[in-house]
Structure 1
C-alpha cells in the first residue's frame, strides 16, 4: 500500500514487541504458572482463568508485569480453593521477578532504524505498562539517546493519544505511529487523524486481538521494522 508520509515530522514508537521482545516472556511465565498448578486444574483451565483474572484486574492494576504477578497469585488462590502452599506463592513471585530483571532483547534492525530516522524526524516512545518497568527497560535497551520524549500511558485509546499530542504540540497530520498492535497502536491513531504503521509480532496477547471486520486495512503493514526506511528516509 502506498501512503503519503511527506508531511510527517514526528514518529512515535510502541516499545514492547516493537522495539524489544516482551510478550514471549509472558507466554513462558504462563507455561510455568500452569505447571505450578497442575495438581489443581488442567493447563487450558489455568490459562483461561488467569486471562479472566487479568481482565477483571486491569482497571485496578493496569498493564505490566506487577499486575500480571498479582493476577497469577489471585488465580492460584481461587483455582486451589485457597489451598495453594506458600512455597508456590513464592515461586509465582519469582516468575515475575525473573521477567522484570531479564535483559532487554532488541528486535532485529531496531537500532539501525532509529539511527537513520533520528537524523530527519523527532522520535518519541508511546507505550503502556508499569512506569518503573518501562523506564528500566528503556535504559537497559541503550536506545534512550534517540528519543526526544518518552511517555508511559495508562492506556492507548483515542483520548490518551489526542491529549498527549496536544500537550506536546504535535499536529495529527504530522504524526506517524509505529507499533505491533492494531488495537492499541494503529486504529486509535487513525481515528484521530494521524497515520499509523503496523509491524506485527509473532506473539500477541489475547486482549490485543481484534476481529478482521473491525479494521479496513487502510494502514500500512510491514513484515519488519526495517522496511519503514523505504517510506521515511
Structure 2
C-alpha cells in the first residue's frame, strides 16, 4: 500500500511558471533597446542561478535578479521609471489569483482517506499566501515549505512524519525536484508535466522507476494499479 501521497504546489496544483513567462516577456520589452531577446534571457537565467544561494526560489528573488540583469545590460544607465516597472511586475505576480490546474480537486478528493502532504519550495511568505488562497490547505495532513528539494530534504520529511520510503509517492511536474531526489531517497514518483518548464528545473528523466501521466485526472487509477501490482 501507498499510505502517504505528497504533491508539489507550483505547476502541479496551480499555475505558476506561465506567470513567470509572461513577466519575462514584459522584461524583454523593457530592455529591448539594450540587448536582443536571446541575450536578455541568457543573462537573466545566469543571474537567477547565481542568486539562488542568496535569495532562494520565488518571485522576490526573480524581481531582484531582473533588476540586477537590467543594471548590467544597460551598464548602469537603466532609468528609474524602468526599475519601477520591474518592481510593479513583481507586485502584480504576488497579487495574481491562484488558478488551480484541471483535475486537482478530483484527485485530492479521491485520496481523502489517506495521509496527504504538500511539499513545495520557495519563499515562505509567498508559498503560504498561495496555499491559503488556493483553498486546498484543509486537504493536507501537513504542509512542508522547503528551500530546496533534494534527497536529504525528502529523507528529513519522511523521517519527521514516520513514513517508510517504499510507501511514499511524490507527485510533481519537475523531474529535477520531484522525481530524481525522491527515487534516490527510496520513494516512488509520478511526473505530471506542465507545458512550461523553467530552464533551471529541466533534467533528463530516469530510464525507469517512475510513472508519467498527462494530468491529475489519471492519478487515482494509476495509484490503484501500482498497489494492485
Q: Which residue of 2 aligns with 1:133?
A: 126
For the aligned residues, what is the CA RMSD?
Answer: 0.9
Among candidates 204, 207, 230, match of residue 221 of structure 2: 230
* Structure 1 contact 18–180 (Cα < 8 Å) conserved: yes
State the secondary structure of the residue aligned to 1:16: coil
Among candidates 193, 196, 208, match of residue 189 of structure 2: 196
Residues 164-204 of structure 1: CA deviation (Å, up to 9, x unaligned)? 11112111111100000111001110111110000111100
Structure 1 residue ranges (4+ consecutive) displaced by more than 3 angstroms after TM superposition: none
Q: What's the CA shift for 1:232? A: 2.9
39-48 or 11-20, which moves further after superposition? Answer: 39-48
In structure 1, list runs of 5 or more residues that go unmatched: 1-6
Q: What's the CA shift for 1:44? A: 1.1
C-alpha distance in 2 between matches for 1:231 and 1:81? 53
Q: Which residue of 1 aligns with 2:82?
A: 88
Among candidates 152, 165, 176, match of residue 158 of structure 2: 165
Q: Is it true that 1:61 corresponds to 2:55 in the alignment? A: yes
In structure 2, list runs of 5 or more residues that go unmatched: 225-229
* Structure 1 contact 104–141 (Cα < 8 Å) conserved: yes
C-alpha distance in 2 between matches for 1:148 and 1:163? 17
Q: Which residue of 1 aligns with 2:109?
A: 115
* Structure 1 contact 173–193 (Cα < 8 Å) conserved: yes
Q: Which residue of 2 aligns with 1:34?
A: 28
C-alpha distance in 2 between matches for 1:100 and 1:112? 27
Aligned residues: 224
Q: What's the CA shift for 1:211? A: 3.1
Q: Which residue of 2 aligns with 1:218?
A: 209
C-alpha distance in 2 between matches for 1:118 and 1:205? 31
State the secondary structure of the residue aligned to 2:97: coil
C-alpha distance in 1 between matches for 2:6 and 2:15? 18
C-alpha distance in 1 between matches for 2:71 and 2:185? 42
C-alpha distance in 1 between matches for 2:201 and 2:130? 21
C-alpha distance in 1 between matches for 2:24 and 2:222? 38
TM-score between both structures, scaled by the size of structure 2: 0.96
* Structure 1 contact 117–232 (Cα < 8 Å) conserved: no
